[in-house]
Each structure stands twice: as C-alpha cells, then as structure tokens.
C-alpha cells in the first residue's frame, strides 16, 4: 500500500507570506496526486489534480509541483481565506487511494 | 447542478450495523467511479472504498474489508455503504465522492453523514 506523509503538520504564517507544504509518497505514484483544502464542518475542496493542474476557479496563487514520490503545494501570497487544513491524496491505483495526515495553516 | 446527498448516519452500538446511502443528481451517475471517504472527529481524511461504474470492481481500506460493502444502483442513481461489525474507531463523518466528474481526480463531494459508534 502507498503511504502518504506531509510536512509540516501545522504552519503559522501571516497574510502575504509564501507558504510551502510538502507531501511524500512511500512509492512512485507518477503524477497521480491531488491537493484539497478543507475548512471546519465542510467537505474537502479540490485545488490541484495530477500534481500540478489547478482546478477551475482556484486562485492562481496556488500551485503544485512534483512527481514520483515528492510533491509540493505552494501558496504564493497567503490570503485570509486560505487559513484551513490542506491534504494531499494519491490515486495511483483504483485499489487504494490514500491521504496525507494534513497540514493546518494557522494565523501567526 | 451536481448534488451528492448522504443519509443513513446515526448512533449505533459497537458490533451493530448501519447502511449509508448517497443520492446522486445532476450528472450521469452510471459513468463514474464512486468513493466513500471518512473523517473521524478532529482527524484527517481516510479513504474507505471505491466502486467502478457497473459495480464489478470494489476495493476497500484494509480495516474495512470484510466488514463494509460498497454497492450502487445505477437505475436509482444511488451509492451505498453497508457497514457491519461496527467499532468505536469507525466513528466519523462519511462522505461519498465522484471520481472524474469534471477532472481526473475525486472532484465532487457530498456534505457527509455522521456515524457514531458508542455504547
């Protein structure tokens, strides 16, 4: 099974900061990686699919990169609406999807 | 508009059973793989199960295999999760979700239904 790790688990940042979250897969998943944003009491919202493709309507300050086992999500200039928890998810095989443990982005 | 509406959650004792349903509308349900994803209170997201378009392929989280059964009724545009031998650690909000609705990813999500396993 593919295990996902994320770092950091919590990130304190200010509005306007550049923020980077990393995600690592225990084996190669090519580019079958998505990033989600989740706010309390809400369903996850897809931000990025196939590692680097931005979902429509997602602000361009979000970007994703990486392949095989190492991936990053970057927010170029943190906005008040971006304080949330972010999850990576691998979907390399129908037989097993898995999520990273999440990164909570807090106000510094 | 696309809608995924879960139902069937509630309070159940350990060892009990519950059947979750997800009513889909606004898209051609039979064209898509579907998933169940759960989230324990205050915890992260956890994939539970996948089912293909005609129900002939089903895959499960290791801890769910043998206890949970994912199924679908394409005539009724509905997805189900039969959960047996429930454990305290199965307590979570359960989301149904669609793969590939617009994009090659799990991109459409319901709002979730809460399952509480407690004596």
Phi, psi of B31 (to 5 degrees): -85, -10
Res B92: pLDDT: 98
pLDDT digits (tens, 9 = 90+) for A57-67: 999 999 999 99
Q: Which residues contact B46 (CB under 8 A, 6 or more apart)?
A: A99, B37, B38, B39, B40, B61, B92
Per-residue pLDDT of chain B (119 residues; tens, 9 = 90+): 999 999 999 999 999 999 999 999 999 999 999 999 999 999 999 999 999 999 999 999 999 999 999 999 999 999 999 999 999 999 999 999 999 888 899 999 999 999 999 99
Residues of B within an 8 Å Cβ radius of A: 33, 35, 37, 44-47, 50, 52, 57, 59, 61-62, 95, 99, 102-107, 109-112
Residues of B in Cβ contact (< 8 Å) with A5? none
Interface of A with B in 27-46 (CB under 8 A): 34, 36, 38, 43-46
Nearest to A34 by CA among A71, A3, A83: A71
Q: Which residues contact B111 (CB under 8 A, 6 or more apart)?
A: A43, B4, B5, B6, B95
């Amino acid at each position: 099974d593919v295990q996902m790790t994320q770092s950091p688990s919590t990130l304190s940042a200010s509005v306007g900061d550049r923020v980077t979250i990393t995600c690592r897969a225990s084996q190669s998943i090519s580019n079958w990686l998505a990033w989600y944003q989740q706010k309390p009491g809400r369903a996850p919202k897809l931000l990025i699919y196939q590692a680097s493709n931005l979902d429509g309507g997602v602000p361009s300050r979000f970007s994703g990169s990486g392949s095989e086992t190492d991936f990053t999500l970057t927010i170029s200039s943190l906005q008040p609406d971006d304080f949330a928890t972010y999850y990576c998810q691998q979907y390399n095989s129908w037989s097993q999807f898995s999520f990273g443990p999440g990164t909570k982005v807090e106000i510094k | 508009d696309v809608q995924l509406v879960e139902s069937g959650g509630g309070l159940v004792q350990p060892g009990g059973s519950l059947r979750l349903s997800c009513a889909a509308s606004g898209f051609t349900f039979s064209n898509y793989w579907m998933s169940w994803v759960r989230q324990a209170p205050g915890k992260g997201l956890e994939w539970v199960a996948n089912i293909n378009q005609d129900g002939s392929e089903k895959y499960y989280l290791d801890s769910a295999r043998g206890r949970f059964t994912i199924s679908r009724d394409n005539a009724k545009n509905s997805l189900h999760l039969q959960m047996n031998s429930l454990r305290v650690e199965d307590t979570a909000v359960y989301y149904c979700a669609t793969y590939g609705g617009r994009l090659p990813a799990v991109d459409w999500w319901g709002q979730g239904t809460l399952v509480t396993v407690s004596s």
